[in-house]
A and B are shown apart, each in its own frame.
Chain A
Amino acid sequence: MDDLSAEPPSSQTEKSAASSSPEEFVDLTNNLESAESKVEAEISSPEPSDDFFDILGSETQKVEVEASVKADSGEVSIGVTDLPGGKTGSEQGTSSAAPIINLNADFSDNNQQPSRVENKTNDPLAQVLSDTPAADPKKPSSAVLDLFEDDGSDIFTGTPQTKPASQPQKGLFGEPDEDLFGEPLGAMSKKTTENEVKSSTTKAAGPASSTGGAQQDRKSTEPADIFTEEAVTTVPRTSNTSTVNSKANGVHSEEDLFTEATVELSLDSPRSGRKKEETSKPSASSSSSSLSAPAKQAKQPPAALEELEDEEEAEKEDQFDVFISVKDPEKVGESLLPGYFFFFFNSQTSLPMFRNKLMTVRRRFSDFLGLYEKLSEKHGPNGLIVPPPPEKSILGMTKVKVGKEDSSSADFLERRRGALERYLQRVVNHPMLLQDPDVREFLEKEELPRAVSTQALSGAGFLKMINKATDAVNKMTIKMNESDAWFEEKLQEVESADQHFRKLHALVESLVVHRKELSLNTANFAKSAAMLGSAEDNTALSRALSQLAEVEDKIEQLHQDQAANDTFSFAELIADYIRLLGAVRGSFDHRIKAWQRWQDGQAMLQKKRETEAKLLWANKPDKLQQAKDEIVEWEAKVTQFERDFERVSATVRKEVIRFEKQRTNNFRRQITKYLESLLQSQQQLIKYWEAFLPEAKAIA
């Protein structure tokens, strides 16, 4: 996909991509093991894949258009164009193909009507689906049920087999979708031919094309309208009708898990639920039974659409790529096991790859650390900046465990809660990390296997790790003569920023201390003023003094709240950045490691060549062949290493740019929040003193 998007999809690239995809394809279907041999044959035949590629091709084309149209969606366009290397490219290409195949395979398998499927595979997928139910109203519904079930469990539990399948989905419905349906859509859909509209609808707005042959005309025009209008309300309506259709159908045909699923959905998103009810009557009457299957297929697309809306809203608000928001993690004060705290958290999402829109799970702190461990192991070497979790604090935790009702321990817990929330938010905001099955498992699974290995990872260990990494960086930077000035500059920037942020953090901490002191002193003065007021024999003055005491009392509370704000919105913000900067440095480190590997490989190759030369000189043909083989082997390795290095470099670069962009936005947002808290306390202050003023004036 990236290959395609990098250049205009010429026939050549198409071909190469097409030729590579069937292979992957077969693999997948094999893995899925449910696919029948017939289907397999079907799939491996060139026709479907071509067809397939039409869709894909047009899609990528669109993405490209998108990228050029939407100048400011820098991230996505970078993401598409930047990803280098054949490997990643092919992976992505296959992955985008996979979901549809997956659906197909499942479908055909369950349906047990391969002949039908055969026919259909030539057509766009959605049409296939729409036709089948028409012929056999009962079976399809069950098939759909199965499809849904299989699909769901397979994809969402994230077993290794289905991993690629679920990833592509994201690819399909995630970024590109967003972009497709973002601003440029109107312009784009105007440009596009009917064919393109179809393909776009099959991907995201399944319902449209899925309505079947009879309604095809109407539908194909309608989506165009919708998209050109770009109205938020129209889009959900279509999507909702389709869901409702499916719902009605489910009710008619049978009880079904599917209906349950729908109910779940509607429960969780009251807004769409309401809309559904509103639209249920007309849509039910208008819908034919043939709609059921497409509707089912559309089940995910509408969610995607909704999600897009949400996202767009969120983006308007936040300027932030929020895919999931982790909300209201509640800490549970009492420890269930002696000495442990559980953090409940909700994740609200409308991403199709999650089963529920609202997920609530219970996690221990060490689980959070465990997640980080897994992620950094997996993605760190590739140059991703894996958001770091808050450090384990033995001191803080012990304090919490010992003195339960201490204010400082409440403070500590609140800090940790906030830090975890932000940490997780960062993880899910990362488009790549969100794809990780471990992340999904973390968000969704009820019970997580206890992360034993991370148990040992204490704050000290964590620090040691960072220090080690830093040392390694320092050592290696001396060796590495940086070829890319950009990295050098960035590393320096990161290091100086780190230093300054550390200083800033200390300052804010001292501000907090002083603010608390002020609060305490104000409270003391309030008491003294009250006493003075009681001693005063002039009635009016006495009254005024006790009023003053009251005002100071309130102000004390204000200062206290402000101190909390200083801590939570300012100091923690900075602490986050210190951690993140550490992670950035870690990614630089990984890049240098990759470079080192490459250099070592080159040195090795050089050595082998020398050996060969020596052997040649010594005229030893028996060993010569072996040496030649080795050279070939190492040449390949070096190429691989170089490619790896370039890939890591590109990823790091992309990640740093992403990090900076996010940091800018996030910092501004957070700091605005903090300033607002300051503003609020000043407003309160005005109120208090203004109320006191007449009292002071009343002294006679």
Chain B
Amino acid sequence: MSSFDDNNKERLRSVSVDLNNDASLLIDIPDALCERDKVKFTVHTKTTLSSFQKPEFSVPRQHEDFIWLHDTLVETEDYAGLIIPPAPPKPDFESPREKMHKLGEGEATMTKEEYTKMKQELEAEYLAVFKKTVQVHEVFLQRLSSHPILSKDRNFQIFLEYDQDLSVRRKNAKEMFGGFFKNMVKSADEVLIAGVKEVDDFFEQEKTFLLDYFSKIKDATAKAEKMTRSHKNIADDYIRLSATLNSLSAEESTANKKTLDHISDLFEKLRKVEGRVASDEELKLTELLRYYMRDIQAAKDLLYRRARALADYENSNKALDKARLKGKDVSQAEEHQQRCLQKFDNLSESGKKELTNFKARRVVAFRKNLVEMAELEVKHAKNNMTLLQGCIELLSSN
């Protein structure tokens, strides 16, 4: 399973290249436990910051704790001008579990060897999903820790340090509904404030860009996922082919046996490479796209918050005009208008910085991942080639 570790480490570096560049706060998740639906992560922190009581500590955290941390950050007014790192997606072990189930059902139709191989493959897949889950949670924390402002967040520090179960309250039905309602409002609001005239060309451009980009990357992610899955299917086919060829050769007494053995062997090796192609494409391409899709969503949220602030400011302007006309509560309105303006300016300023950062980060990450993917594809294809050549030679030699 070391292969997965390697892959994941590489991916980690690639998605968050500029993370953990200073050693003052190092976070990783060395271990995780899966209990039924719940995954318990061990979050390990190493720090030189004085705000922490100890230089090194580990705490147990669950997926819900991460969500809580994310939500609190989003809700913090001060961070409105920041791109809040996207929350890690919920661990999804459904698909491998379902496959395992199906495999169990189809056991009778398979040879023992085939079944064993398929089971191994599924276990590997399960493990891969598990590791990936750990990784996305780790990346979330690392994004936070490398952010100059967010790393100072109190809640974040509590999340890292508090050595008891955080036991954050699970959202109750009302809150769930509230969240849903809030989303509705937000969507409606987005439509409403879309009419507000943009004052800054930079943001105007960013907005159109991000909207466009988001739809494209979402599409690309879905397609990449399908493509990866197809690769996986082919690898699975190779397993079955290999097993069937093997059982065929077992009952063969003629000279054909050797040929069949060779091919069976070859397919067994090919399927490993094909499996690696699938998992590497998944990690280098699909994960990259998926992550940036979420990141862009976060950036869009930032734009929304700024647009909201802009709308608020416009409204406050109108209110001020009204107040002046009426000669009532002028100072109050003025104050409000000033506040709105300030907030908006702050938002704009930090937003601009964040978005520029985001762009640089994205380009670097894409570069790294694409280079690595191309290299891996070449490597795998070369492996395949060597295998095939070897087999052809074997076949022609006897």
Contact = CB atoms under 8 A, between A and B. Distances in A.
A281 interface: no
Nearest to A525: B223
Given A532-B220, A682-B385, A544 B241 contact: no
A689 B363 contact: no
Q: Label chain B's interface by main secondary structure.
A: helix
B240 A664 contact: no
Contacts of A689: 374, 377-378, 381
Contact of B241 (A504, A515, A534, A535): A504
Nearest to A515: B234
A514 B226 CA distance: 11
B366 A672 contact: no
B374 A692 contact: yes
Contacts of A504: 241, 244-245, 248
B363 to A, nearest CB: 5
B388 A682 contact: yes
A680 to B, nearest CB: 9
A672 B244 contact: no
Contact of A525 (B224, B381, B391): B224
B226 A676 contact: no
A541 B388 contact: no
Interface string B358-374: 01001100110011011
Interface in B207-228: 209, 212-213, 216-217, 219-220, 222-224, 226-227
Contact of A538 (B234, B253, B363): B363
B329 interface: no
A522 B384 CA distance: 20
B366 A541 contact: yes
A493 interface: yes
Interface in B112-165: none
Interface stretch (B30-38, B50-58, B70-78, B254-262): B254-262
Given A500-B251, A525-B226, A514 B216 contact: no
A73 interface: no
Given A517-B230, A675-B266, A699-B366, A663 B395 contact: no
Contacts of A676: 388, 392
A667 interface: yes
Given A508-B241, A697-B367, A535 B209 contact: yes
A531 B382 contact: no
A199 B312 CA distance: 114
A503 B242 CA distance: 12
Interface in A626-674: 660-661, 663-664, 667-668, 671-672
A518 B259 CA distance: 28
A257 interface: no
A501 interface: yes
A324 B99 CA distance: 51
A507 interface: yes
Nearest to B214: A535
Contacts, number: 165
Contacts of A45: none
B392 A690 contact: no
Interface string A529-566: 10110111110110011001000000000000000000
Interface in B236-253: 237-238, 240-241, 244-245, 247-248, 251-253
Given A660-B254, A696-B367, A699-B370, A529 B241 contact: no
A692 to B, nearest CB: 5
Contact of B255 (A517, A531, A664, A675): A664
A507 B213 contact: no
A193 interface: no
B186 to A, nearest CB: 24
B343 interface: no
Query: In the complex, which range does the number of interface residues on chain A fall in?
Result: 35 or more
Contact of A514 (B230, B248, B384, B396): B230
B256 A518 contact: no
Contacts of A664: 254-256, 259
Given A524-B226, A541-B367, A696-B374, A672 B396 contact: yes
A510 interface: yes
A496 B367 contact: no
Contact of A507 (B217, B229, B240, B256): B240
B395 A668 contact: yes
Contact of A686 (B229, B241, B385): B385
Interface centre among A524, A535, A693 (most CB of B within 10 A): A535
Given A496-B251, A660-B256, A690 B378 contact: yes
Nearest to A669: B395
B363 A528 contact: no
B371 A697 contact: yes
B242 to A, nearest CB: 10
A540 B213 CA distance: 16
Contacts of A661: 254-255
B11 interface: no
B237 A532 contact: no
A683 B245 CA distance: 25
A497 interface: yes
A472 interface: no
A538 B219 contact: no
Nearest to B223: A525
Contact of A685 (B223, B256, B377): B377
Given A544-B370, A685-B381, A500 B227 contact: no
Interface centre among A503, A508, A527, A692 (most CB of B within 10 A): A503
Contacts of B359: 537-538
Contacts of A696: 367, 370-371, 373-374
Nearest to B220: A528
Contact of A693 (B220, B255, B371): B371
Interface in A474-522: 493, 496-497, 500-501, 503-504, 507-508, 510-511, 514-515, 517-518, 521-522
A678 interface: yes
Contacts of A541: 362-363, 366-367
A588 to B, nearest CB: 17
Contacts of B213: 532, 535-536
Nearest to A666: B256
Given A683-B381, A683-B385, A690-B374, 13 more contacts: A500-B248, A507-B237, A514-B230, A518-B227, A525-B223, A548-B370, A663-B254, A664-B254, A675-B263, A676-B388, A676-B392, A692-B374, A699-B363
22 contacts: A507-B241, A521-B230, A524-B223, A525-B224, A528-B216, A532-B219, A534-B216, A540-B363, A545-B366, A661-B254, A664-B255, A672-B392, A672-B395, A672-B396, A675-B263, A679-B385, A679-B392, A683-B385, A686-B378, A689-B377, A690-B378, A692-B374
Which 8 pairs from chain A and chain B are nearest by CB?
A: A518-B230, A699-B367, A528-B220, A525-B223, A696-B370, A500-B248, A679-B388, A511-B237
